[in-house]
Structure 1
Amino acid sequence: MHNINTKLYSIFNWITLVAYLNVIWILLSLSGGIVLGFFPATVSMFAIIRKWLKGDTNFPLFRTFLHYYKKEFWKSNRLGFIIGGLFLIFTLDYWYLIHYSPEVIWGQILLFALSLLFLLFIFYLFPTYVHYDLKLIALLKQAFLLMLIHPLHTFFIIVCLASLFFVFYLIPAAAFIFGGSGYAFITMWLCMNAFHKLHNTKTPS
């Protein structure tokens, strides 16, 4: 009975921490006017989850989040401008094809394929950011490379996120409570597995 109570306490404690992390992420994203707050808040959330997954749980959550937020504010926002620029290019291309060249089917197929590749790349972007200490261009290359050489991990990310979004569809309130942190936990967990496999491959036995 004691073991059951201990496990239940541990489960509810983790649920509370993940929900609290999501609230902090939302608040600090808003504090930067979303435009300047989203990327540093998201990087900070992934950094916190990485610490948890590495077994480091004994730290003040809000203070540590704020530390990462301030430390990575400008670098993460430079990354945000790059990603935002790419997103804008894709949006304008879609708009142009739909309004001026709807008959160019091959162009729509190519753009859809590139957009899908871009989405998969985003899955690896934040985990790579917090796991490696890289300059922005090297970071983009590393995230893209990891996405290419780990198709199985990418598949599992898609399946897990699809399941998570289905739960959010059934229980919309859960999306507000666990939306950002749930996404971050899944992608960080699977990406760290990919990082370890890559490290073991490079390390001679």
Structure 2
Amino acid sequence: MNNAMSTIYHILDWIMKFAFVNLLWNIFTLAGGIILGFYPATIAMFTIVRSWLRGKTDEPVLKYFWLHYKSNFLKSNLLGLFLNVLLGLVILDIYYIQVNMVAALTWTYIPLFAFMLLIILYLFYIFPCFAHYDLNIISLMKNALFIMLISPIHSFLIIVSIVSVFFIMRAIPALFFIFGGVTYAFITVWISLHAFNRIQNQKILNK
């Protein structure tokens, strides 16, 4: 009975932690006027999740969320400028495809879809890399690209996991608002850490 109660308490504790971090992500994004708040809040969320996955589960969440938000405010927004350009290119690609699409897709659209896929895969790694490595922006962007290119299995696992979670949250939309952001962070950081450890063991990452 005690073991069952302990397990239930442990599960509820993690549910509360996930919900709290997701709430902080939304609050601090709004606090930065969304435009300036999104990237620092996202980095803070990913850093907290990374700490959890590395065994540091007892850190005061609000204190460390604010610390990472404040200390990475400028650097994360500089990265955000680059990511916004990439996302802008993806939007242009989608717009071009919609405007020029005829009865069916042709092979000429393959490079556009390939480009969008690469950007999506790149986004899987850029935030975990930011949280894991102490690098300048240029080195961070290069290493995230390098890790993405040599980690196809990890990318596949991230896609499968995120798609599975998407369908669950689509069936229960409330879960998206309560756990959406932090669940994405947990999946990408968890799988990315395995990629980082493999690279570190093989000593093939150039900082």
Hey, what's the Cα distance between the residues in 1 that align with 2:101 and 2:4? 61
Hey, what's the Cα distance between the residues in 2 that align with 1:82 and 1:107? 27
Q: Deviations over 1:118-154 (max 9, x none)?
A: 0011000100011001111111111111111111111
Aligned to 1:168: 169
Q: What do you get for the CA RMSD once the two structures are aligned? A: 1.6
Aligned to 1:60: 60
Aligned to 2:113: 112
Aligned to 1:33: 33
Quickly say closer, same or farther: Cα 1:64–1:166, change in 2 above 3 A: same
- TM-score by length of structure 2 reads 0.92
Aligned residues: 202
Hey, what's the Cα distance between the residues in 2 that align with 1:17 and 1:102? 45
Q: Deviations over 1:85-144 (max 9, x none)?
A: 121123234434544x55794442211110111001100010001100111111111111
Q: CA deviation at 1:3?
A: 1.3
Aligned to 2:191: 190
Aligned to 1:202: 203
Amino acid at match of 2:123: I
Which blocks of at least 5 consecutive residues in structure 2 are unaligned?
A: none
Quickly say closer, same or farther: Cα 1:13–1:135, change in 2 above 3 A: same
Structure 2 counterparts to residues 1-205 of structure 1, below 5 A = 1-96=1-96, 98-99=98-99, 102=101, 105-202=106-203
**81-90 or 167-176, larger mean C-alpha shift:** 81-90
* SS of corresponding position for 1:157: helix
Amino acid at match of 1:176: F
Amino acid at match of 2:119: F
Quickly say closer, same or farther: Cα 1:2–1:81, change in 2 above 3 A: same
**56-65 or 194-203, larger mean C-alpha shift:** 194-203
Q: CA deviation at 1:32?
A: 1.1
Q: Deviations over 1:25-56 (max 9, x none)?
A: 01111111111111000000000011111111
Hey, what's the Cα distance between the residues in 1 that align with 2:97 and 2:162? 30
Identity %: 45
Hey, what's the Cα distance between the residues in 1 that align with 2:94 and 2:183? 30
Amino acid at match of 1:5: M
Which blocks of at least 5 consecutive residues in structure 1 are unaligned?
A: none
- TM-score by length of structure 1 reads 0.93
Amino acid at match of 2:195: A
Amino acid at match of 1:179: G
